[in-house]
Amino acid sequence: MSQYEGDDAVPVSASEYQAFVAFLRTACGIDLGANKQYLVSTRIRRIMLEHRLQSLTELTQLVQQDSQRLLRQKVIDAMTTNETFWFRDGYPFEYLSKTFLPEFAKQKPGEKARIWSAACSTGQEPYSISMAVEEGLRASIVARGCDADILATDVSTSVLDAAREGIYDRLSLLRGLSLQRSSDFFVQISADSWRIKDSVRDRVRFRPLNLQESFYLLGKFDVVFCRNVLIYFSQDLKTEILRKIHGVLNPGGILFLGASETISGLNDLFEMVRCNPGVAYRAKLKGSP
C-alpha cells in the first residue's frame, strides 16, 4: 500500500488499482480495463486531499461501507466521463422531429411521446430533444396537440444537479448550438451565463438512475437515447442493458445509440433504421423475424 503525501499524483500500486477497478465495476458498471492508473490518480486526487486519505486502499475500503454513500457518490461522480454537447451527431434529433414525431402524431393524435435520455450528463441531450420537439411544433411538422415527455437520468448526481439548474457558459453554448437556437431557447442572465427557457425545460424531468438497476418502474417509452455510455461497460453488461431497454420500449419504439456503439448482435430484438447519415434501431416484437 502506497502513502499519499498530498503531492500531485496519488501513488497507485498494481493491487490497489485492481481493487479500485473492481469496486467501480460493481458500483456503476464502468470497466476501466488495464493501465488507467494515471486516470484514477488524477480524478480522485481532490477527494483524497479533501478527506485527508492516506492511500487508495483506504479510499477503496471506505467507499464500500454502507455509511459512506456520499463519499461513494463523489468517487462515482469523479470517475464518470461526462463529455457531451448540444445536438450531438445531429441526425437523431432531426429524425425525431421530422420523421418519428409526425408519424407518431398521425398514429396517436393528441398523445405525448415518452422519451428517455438514459445517460443525460449535464442536460445537453434531453434539452436538445426538447428543442427539436419545439422546432417541429413551431414549423407545424409535428401536428398540434402532439408533444413529448422526456425523462432524463444519470448515475452521477453532480451532473444531474447541473442539468436541473440549466445554466451554461458561453463555451458550452458554442459546442453544438447555432446562434439562432441560442437566442430562441436561452435567456442571458449574466456576462457569461445563459439559462434554458422554461418552455424547453418543462418537458424534461431529471432523476438519478444507475443503468445496472431494474428499469421496471420507469414505464414504457416510444424513444430511448442511450448514447455514448455503453462504451464504458463490459460486453455482458452492454447486452443486459440493451435487453432491458427493449423491455421498456413500446413495439416499434426507437433506440438511438452513440456513433461508435451497436446493438451487439441483438438482431432478434432490434432492426436497423437508416436515418442518414446515421442509424437508429427499432424494437421488434419478440419472436418476429
Ligand X SMILES: C[S@@+](CC[C@H](N)C(=O)[O-])C[C@H]1O[C@@H](n2cnc3c(N)ncnc32)[C@H](O)[C@@H]1O
Give me the residues that bind ligand X (CB under 6 A), please: 28-30, 80-84, 88, 119, 121, 125, 154-156, 159, 210-212, 227-229, 232, 258
Rank residues 97 and 228 by Cβ distance to ligand X and give the closer one: 228
Burial of 112 (0-12, 13-18, 19+ CB in 10 A): middle
C-alpha cell at 177: 448550438
Rank residues 55 and 124 by Cβ distance to ligand X and give the closer one: 124
Listed in order, strand segments (DSSP E) in the chain are 112-117, 147-154, 167-168, 186-190, 193-196, 204-208, 221-226, 249-257, 270-275, 278-283
Minimum CB–partner distance for residue 233 and ligand X (Å): 7
Minimum CB–partner distance for residue 237 and ligand X (Å): 8
Rank residues 90 and 145 by Cβ distance to ligand X and give the closer one: 90
How far is C-alpha 200 from the chain's CA centre? 18
Rank residues 52 and 216 by Cβ distance to ligand X and give the closer one: 216
Minimum CB–partner distance for residue 84 and ligand X (Å): 3
Minimum CB–partner distance for residue 86 and ligand X (Å): 9
| Residue 255 to residue 232: CA distance in whole angstroms | 18
- Cβ pair 272, 279 in contact under 8 A: yes
Minimum CB–partner distance for residue 49 and ligand X (Å): 23
Rank residues 41 and 156 by Cβ distance to ligand X and give the closer one: 156
**Residue 46: which residues within 8 A CB-CB, separation 6 or more?**
78
